[in-house]
Amino acid sequence: MNIVFLSTEAVPFAKTGGLADVCGTLPSKVAALGHRATLIMPAFRSIRSAGLPIESTDTSFAIPMSPQKLIGARILKSKLPDGDVPVWFIDQPQYFDRESLYGTSNGDYPDNAERFAFFCRAAMHAISRLEGPIDIVHCNDWQSGLVPAMMAAEPNAYPWIKKASSIFTIHNLAYQGHFDRDSFRWTGLDWKHFNSNQFEYYNHLNFLKTGIVTADMITTVSPKYAEEICGPEQGCGLDGVLRGRHDRLSGIINGIDQTVWNPETDTKLAATYDARFYKQGKLANKREIQQRFGLEPNESLPMIGLVGRLASQKGWDMILPVLQAHLAEDRPAQWVVLGSGEARYEEPLRQLAQAFPKRFALYLGFSDELAHLIEAGSDVFVMPSLYEPCGLNQLYSLRYGTVPIVTETGGLANTVVDCTAETLKNGTATGFFIPAVNAESLDQTIGRALHLRYHEKEKWQQIIETGMSQDFSWRHSADQYIELYAKTIALKNSKEKTIIKRRDESATFR
Per the annotation, where are the binding residues for ADP-alpha-D-glucose? 15
Beta-ladder partners of 5: 39, 138
Interface residue with ligand ADP, options 340, 444, 461, 470 (CB under 6 A) = 340
The helix (H) or strand (E) run that includes residue 159 is none
Which residue number is nearest to ligand ADP in terms of Cβ? Answer: 18
Residue selected from 393, 402, 445, 477 as contacting ligand ADP according to rule CB under 6 A: 393
| Minimum CB distance to ligand ADP, residue 393 (Å) | 4
Binding mask 308-327 for ligand ADP (x = CB under 6 A): xx------------------
Among 137, 139, 307, 352, binds ligand ADP (CB under 6 A): 307
As a three-state string, the secondary structure of 198-264 is CCEECCEEEHHHHHHHHCCEEEECCHHHHHHCCCCCCCCCCHHHHHHCHHHEEECCCCECCCCCCCC
Nearest distance from residue 241's CB to ligand ADP, in Å? 22
Least Å distance, CB 177 to ligand ADP, is: 16
Distances (CA, A) of 127 to 76, 91, 101, 408: 14, 15, 22, 40
Please state the closest distance from residue 77 (CB atom) to ligand ADP, in A.
26
Q: Which amino acid is at 217?
A: M
Among 263, 339, 377, 431, binds ligand ADP (CB under 6 A): 339
State which residue, 92 or 407, has the beta carbon closest to ligand ADP.
Answer: 407
End-to-end CA distance of the chain: 39
Nearer to ligand ADP, 238 or 390 (CB): 390
Q: What is the DSSP string of 70-138?
A: EEEEEEEEEE-SSSS-EEEEEE-HHHH-SSSSSEETTEE-TTHHHHHHHHHHHHHHHHTTSSS---EEE
Q: State the binding string over 354-383 for ligand ADP (x if CB under 6 A, else -).
A: ------------xxx--x------------
CB 148 within 8 A of CB 166: yes
Cβ atoms of 21 and 254 closer than 8 Å: yes
Over the window 172 to 211, marking each residue x when it contacts ligand ADP by CB under 6 A and - when it does not, the resulting string is: ----------------------------------------
Tell me: does residue 412 bind ligand ADP (CB under 6 A).
no
Least separation in angstroms between residue 392's CB and ligand ADP is 4
Q: Contact with ligand ADP (CB under 6 A): which of 392, 398, 406, 434?
A: 392
- Taking CB under 6 A as the rule, does residue 140 contact ligand ADP? no
Binding to ligand ADP by residue 338, rule CB under 6 A? yes
- Asked if 80 interacts with ligand ADP (CB under 6 A), we say no
CB of 307 to ligand ADP, least distance (A): 5
Q: Verify binding: residue 238, ligand ADP, rule CB under 6 A.
A: no
What number of residues does the chain have? Answer: 510
The minimum distance between CB 316 and ligand ADP, in angstroms, equals: 12
- 3-state SS, residue 413: helix
CB of 404 to ligand ADP, least distance (A): 11
| Residue (308 or 377) nearer to ligand ADP, CB | 308
Please name which of 339, 322, 309 lies closest in space to residue 442, comparing C-alpha atoms.
322
The span of 2-10, 303-311, 322-330, 475-483 binding ligand ADP (CB under 6 A) equals 303-311
**Least Å from the CB of residue 21 to ligand ADP:** 5
Q: What share of the chain is helix, strand, coil (3-state, %, to 5)?
A: 45, 20, 35
Fill in the amino acid letter for 145: G
Q: How far apart are CA 50 and CA 332, in angstroms?
A: 40
What are the helix (H) ranges across 129-218?
146-153, 207-214
Residue 425's Cβ-count burial label (10 Å; 0-12, 13-18, 19+) is: exposed
Q: What is the DSSP letter of 132?
A: S
Single-letter residue type at 487: K
In the complex, the smallest distance separating the C-beta of residue 223 from ligand ADP, rounded to whole angstroms, is 16
CA–CA separation, 341 and 364 (whole Å):
9
Residue 18 as a binder of ligand ADP (CB under 6 A): the answer is yes
Kindly tell me the burial class for residue 54, based on how many C-beta atoms sit within 10 Å of its own C-beta (0-12, 13-18, 19 or more): middle
Query: Which one of 255, 391, 410, 467 is in contact with ligand ADP (CB under 6 A)?
Result: 391
Size of the site for ligand ADP (CB under 6 A): 17
Number of H helices, E strands in the chain: 18, 20
Pairing of the two strands 36-42 and 86-91: parallel
List residues near ligand ADP by CB under 6 A. 17-18, 21, 307-309, 338-340, 366-368, 371, 390-393
